[in-house]
Amino acid sequence: MPADLENVLSSLVASELALFNELALLVDKEEECVLAEDMECLLTVLQEKQDVISRQEKIHEEWSSVSASLGISEGRDGPVFWSHLGELLGDGADDLKSSLSVIRDVAGRVLEQEIRVQTILEQHVDALRKQMAQVSQGKKALHGYSKSGGV
């Protein structure tokens, strides 16, 4: 069982890391779309990100299934989970914990980048709103000028 378990967990870790790396690339692309003010591109990237996030959720469900199959009520982030795995896998559990640490680092960088992209997007939205307000004011001025007999 421990060898099979270690293979299953290693596969989950590898899949999760791959998804976070894919997400990082998509956030890069998202930033490019925002800077180019290409909304069609942005919507496509957002759909692709949603697909990755859905696959990440499935992996988290698999982690929960592993916990349940081991009779552990808490998930992989809890100390009981790792204590039990340590008993079953020995040093293999430490290797998995190290891999999850790498995943957390990548996830943290993706989150930081996502926040930066969100800030850029908000700046572009504000600029678009200002442009729309100027157009609206121009229309009101033209309408007022027309009413006063100017046109």
pLDDT (tens digit per residue) in 2-49: 668 889 999 999 999 999 999 999 999 999 988 887 878 888 999 999
Displacement of CA 12 from its chain's centroid (Å): 18
The C-alpha atoms of residue 148 and residue 151 are separated, in whole angstroms, by: 8
Q: Return the residue matching tokens 């700046």.
A: 123
More confident residue, 90 or 139: 90
List the domain range (segments joined by +) for residue 76: 2-110
Kindly state the DSSP code that residue 148 receives in the 8-state scheme. T
Q: What is the mean pLDDT of residues 118-139?
A: 72
In a domain, 21, yes or no: yes
According to the model, what pLDDT value does residue 140 have? Answer: 74
In a domain, 126, yes or no: no
Amino acid at 17: L
Residue 16, judged by CB atoms within 10 A of its CB (0-12, 13-18, 19+), counts as buried
pTM of the model: 0.76
Total domains in the chain come to 1
According to the model, what pLDDT value does residue 15 have? Answer: 96
